[in-house]
Amino acid sequence: MLQALNRLFRSKTPEPEPAGAKITLGDVLRRGWFEQWYQPKIDLRSKRLVGAEALVRARRPDDSLVSPGLFLPGAKEDDMLALTERVILSALRDYEHYAALGVVLKLSVNVPASAFVKLPIARMLHEERPAAANWPGLILEVTEDEVMHDLKIANEVADELRNYRCSLALDDFGAGYSSLARLRQLPFSELKIDKSYVTDCHLDRVNAGLCETIVELAKRFDLKTVAEGIETTHESHKLQGLGCDIGQGFLFAKPMSKDQLAAVLSRRMVGAAKPVANASPTRGPLLRNLFAG
């Protein structure tokens, strides 16, 4: 009987991963380890929560987390497309989870450029988007270097998605090589300033000048600007002074699971968050304090 119980126990207990074993995105999806996390986005003028970026994590059966840096690089295109589809659908459903708490969040999702051609994004939005009249829409973020290969497709997709309140953001802006002439052709509503330019922008004159140029450029094209990787109050104040609209980084909040974010919102943010377009110009509570603990 003991031998039988031992065999039964062993058959139901997953073998531990060998130390240093390589984990692929395919492994994460196939084993059901995928988790969707969110990092808050803050209106730099009002210091209020206005949105969140969806991020991916993997959790092993032993409850240990796997960084995306260990399973995303080199991922197969089919696996990336499967992941993208899952993240988009989860973000559409998660909006209602937060809306039930009285919080309106405009969520954003990173997508590879190939998703515009190979995924039925418009159909997904048509079938799965929240029915609430105050749904602020969804943002799809694509990196500058990827989208520059085919601006025609990007424009066609943007026109189609706009009907479903879905807009595009140019991620890691400044890290690529867009010319001003080509920038005019980009169908984006938001520019995300690359973290490398945000770091020490209050001290580094080159970084400060680059951030200022990007903010001014965005204003000329009627685009919002989002600064990534803000880690100090000095960086935040500098970017606010330059006219940057939205900030994201460890200063305000680290990425957190869907349930962790919901728990924080239910305790401290119910009724305080508003869409960016309706954000109060008055100074709100610092999110780094709201998200502490």
CATH number, domain containing residue 28: 3.20.20.450
Residue-level pLDDT at 102: 87
Residue-level pLDDT at 155: 84
Is 210 a member of any domain? no
Task: Give the pLDDT band (50/70/90) at residue 38.
Answer: very high
- Dist. CA 224–CA 60, nearest whole Å: 38
- Dist. CA 88–CA 84, nearest whole Å: 6
Average pLDDT, the chain: 84
Q: Give the residue carrying structure tokens 């399973």.
A: 71
Range of the domain at 38: 24-191+256-273+283-290
Is 234 a member of any domain? no
Is 224 a member of any domain? no
Q: Note the pLDDT tens digit of each residue in 266-290.
A: 886 544 444 444 443 333 344 444 4
- Dist. CA 91–CA 86, nearest whole Å: 9
Q: How does DSSP classify residue 189?
A: S
The three-state secondary structure class of 237 is: helix
What is the domain count for the chain?
1
Is 215 a member of any domain? no
pLDDT exceeds cutoff 90 at 175: no
Question: What is the three-state SS of 259-289?
Answer: HHHHHHHHHHHCCCCCCHHHCCCCCCCCHHH
Is 97 a member of any domain? yes
Q: Which residues of 30-39 are buried (b: 16+ CB within 10 A; e: fewer)?
A: eeebbbbbbb
Question: How far, CA to CA in Å, does 65 sit from each of 6, 54, 123, 281?
Answer: 28, 16, 33, 39
- Dist. CA 108–CA 139, nearest whole Å: 4
Is 143 a member of any domain? yes
The three-state secondary structure class of 193 is: strand
Is 112 a member of any domain? yes
More confident site: 17 or 87 = 87
- Dist. CA 128–CA 82, nearest whole Å: 17
C-beta atoms surrounding 14 within 10 Å: 9
Is 244 a member of any domain? no
